[in-house]
Amino acid sequence: MDQAIPTRPRGPVPAGAVAAVVLLAFASGATGLFALFILSFASDACTGASTALICTPTGQQAVTVGPLLAAAVGTFTAAGFCAAKPPWRTAGILLGYVIAFGAFFLAWITAVQA
């Protein structure tokens, strides 16, 4: 009575999906480093009376570290969905792009509001 559940054999992950994840890793890593080394200087214009989010320590941490963390989360999300079936694979890779670059654009908006 020990019968295995029949499953369809899965083929290899398409090269296009792997290329999309590698591109995401490099591009989101570059934007994360841009945020770390460039956007952190947006708080230089802050004065003692400034109330912008970038003028607070929490805002500075979010602007500098947030995009790097989101780049890692977005890349791992996209890589995890590479093994999914075709409609979910595309959606998962797009979700990874949205996570990675969405955080960068939020950091950019926060930095520009100073």
How would DSSP label each residue in 45-85? G--TT--SGGGSHHHHHHHHHHHHHHHHHHHHHHHHGGGS-
**Digit-coded pLDDT (tens) for 64-109:** 999 999 999 999 999 999 988 888 999 999 999 999 999 999 999 9
Q: What is the pLDDT of residue 8?
A: 64
- 50: phi then psi, degrees, rounded to nearest 5: -70, 135
Predicted local distance difference test score (pLDDT) of residue 100? 95
Q: Answer with the residue of higher pLDDT: 50 or 100.
A: 100
Q: What is the pLDDT of residue 3?
A: 75
Band of the pLDDT at 47, cuts 50, 70, 90? confident
Q: Which amino acid is at 73?
A: V
Please classify residue 53 by burial: count the beta carbons closer than 10 Å to its beta carbon, then call 0-12 exposed, 13-18 middle and 19+ buried: middle
pLDDT value, residue 12: 81
